[in-house]
């Protein structure tokens, strides 16, 4: 068994995604704690954020995780270099030909950079992690979860932030009530949010960048960060040598991850499934089982939870209100807003939101949406019960822990 890898071990999640960006979010949470500290009697709690010190700690932790992953690969050959197909069972890696019964493609993706004038002056979500110093102002193009998270994080670090989103609202694909709540949260944080707006052109001046926007405005800023989705890393594989279909650059697979070539499988961000690390891991397990005889193994994509790690957190599983109406016609909605106790005595209390989508015929919960502290943990903890057909009545009959945010789930 062997792994071909041209970059560092660990892929996007460890090196350029989940781990370092979540550490950035945790650093930003201290700023949020400072905001409410005076309500709890703390005098002059404000501190100053030192990006170089934090970056060193973040980089050290990433290296430590990477080393642990390398140690776990003991007994597996690591072939350094770009792998390209010669045929369905043969690949070339730095001039060396390697044959294998099965091939698993897990090349991931990279941030999409738009083709527009001056784009060479912008950075992506990987490059921001390498900045030695943090500029005073940012314009972020893209209001998906990456753009939203970075917008709030950088604002918490004391930077001026403008967020530009081409859709009518941020977090396209999330429930409409969550979108509205997140939009207002970003505005309340002091982020200049422009929706229905695209980045058209970038010009470099003597001391700043000028972003020419589709709404007619020109925004001057120190740095422009593009968070406009991801592109699959399939262009260097020489897929023309094998019988593999792609769609918009992403590899087409069956429910087990198998391509049109029976011995070649693909998983993760290079396929047209959900671009989430736990999903890729589940797909990898399913593909391995399929390779070695379990033809029934499949990934169930319906109840996969997803989250936006902002403040407060956003999390969801199942159908949005609009998707549920499209599928079921008539639906029931249970919704509750509340102020978590932690913020009740502060000068700027947050309003949390819990929303359930219910099938009126069976009373089963078919969607759950939250914007609240610890929303990610709360939603994912409910998924096993939701997969087994949890009803609204069963949820309401559950006794919670008082006082807690999770308790509000049982009070709808």
Element (H, E) at 35: helix 18-37
What is the per-residue DSSP string for 162-210? EEE-SSSSSSTTS-HHHHHHHHHHHHHTT-EEE-S--EEEEEE-SSSEE
Q: How far is 101 from 233, CA to CA, in rounded Å?
A: 23
Question: Is 369 labeled as catalytic in the residue annotation?
Answer: no
Per the CB < 8 A criterion, the answer to whether 307 and 373 are in contact is no
Q: Catalytic residue, from 61, 89, 121, 402: name it.
A: 402
Q: What is the DSSP secondary structure assignment for residue 271, as one 8-state letter? A: B
- Strand segments (E) across 267-379: 306-308, 314-318, 332-338, 352-358, 365-371
- Here the tokens at position 95 are 């001039």
- Here the tokens at position 52 are 């170089």
Q: How far is 137 from 224, CA to CA, in rounded Å?
A: 9
Q: How far is 150 from 185, CA to CA, in rounded Å?
A: 14
Strand partners, 137: 160
Per the CB < 8 A criterion, the answer to whether 209 and 180 are in contact is no
**Is 245 in a helix, a strand, or coil?**
coil
User: Helices (DSSP H) in 210-310: which residue ranges?
Assistant: 277-291
Residue with tokens 């009803």: 391
- Here the tokens at position 306 are 């997803």
The widest CA-to-CA distance across the chain, in whole angstroms, is: 69
Neighbour count for residue 266 (Cβ, 10 Å): 28
Per the CB < 8 A criterion, the answer to whether 264 and 88 are in contact is yes
Angle at 87 between CA 84 and CA 89, to 5 degrees: 95
Q: How far is 296 from 273, CA to CA, in rounded Å?
A: 19
Q: Mention every residue, 6+ apart, whose C-beta is less than 8 A from residue 285.
A: 297
Active site residues per annotation: 402
């Amino acid at each position: 068994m062997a792994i071909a890898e041209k970059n560092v071990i660990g892929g996007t999640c460890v090196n350029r995604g989940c781990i370092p960006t979540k550490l950035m979010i945790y650093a930003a949470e201290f700023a949020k704690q400072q905001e409410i500290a005076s309500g709890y009697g703390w005098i002059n709690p404000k501190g100053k954020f030192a990006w170089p010190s934090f970056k060193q700690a973040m980089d050290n932790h990433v290296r430590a995780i990477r080393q642990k992953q390398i140690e776990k690969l003991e007994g597996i050959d690591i072939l350094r270099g770009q792998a390209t197909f010669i045929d369905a069972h043969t690949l070339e890696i730095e001039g060396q030909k390697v044959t294998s019964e099965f091939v698993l493609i897990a090349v991931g993706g990279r941030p999409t950079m738009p083709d527009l004038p001056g784009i060479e002056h912008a950075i992506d979500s990987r490059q921001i992690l390498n900045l030695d110093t943090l500029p005073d102002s940012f314009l972020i193009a893209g209001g998906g979860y990456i753009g939203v998270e970075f917008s709030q994080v950088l604002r918490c670090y004391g930077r001026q932030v403008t967020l530009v989103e081409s859709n009518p609202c941020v977090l396209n694909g999330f429930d409409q009530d969550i979108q509205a709540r997140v939009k207002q949260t970003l505005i309340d944080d002091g982020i200049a949010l422009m929706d229905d707006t695209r980045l058209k052109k970038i010009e470099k001046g003597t001391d700043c960048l000028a972003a020419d926007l589709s709404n007619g405005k020109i925004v001057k800023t120190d740095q422009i960060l593009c968070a406009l989705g991801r592109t699959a890393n399939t262009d260097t594989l020489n897929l023309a040598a094998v019988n593999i279909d792609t769609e918009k650059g992403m590899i087409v697979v069956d429910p087990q991850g198998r391509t049109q070539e029976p011995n070649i499988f693909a998983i993760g961000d290079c396929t047209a499934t959900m671009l989430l690390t736990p999903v890729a891991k589940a797909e990898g397990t399913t593909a391995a089982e399929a390779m070695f005889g379990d033809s029934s193994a499949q990934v169930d994509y319906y109840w996969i939870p997803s989250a936006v790690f902002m403040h407060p957190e956003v999390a969801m599983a199942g159908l949005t209100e609009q998707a549920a109406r499209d599928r079921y016609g008539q639906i029931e909605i249970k919704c509750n807003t509340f102020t978590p106790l932690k913020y009740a005595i502060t000068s700027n209390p947050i309003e949390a939101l819990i929303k359930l989508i219910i099938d009126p015929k069976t009373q089963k919960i078919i969607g759950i949406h939250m914007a609240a502290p610890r929303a990610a943990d709360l939603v994912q903890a409910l998924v096993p019960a939701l997969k087994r057909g949890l009803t609204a009545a069963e949820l309401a009959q559950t006794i919670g822990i008082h006082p807690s945010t999770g308790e509000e789930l049982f009070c709808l």
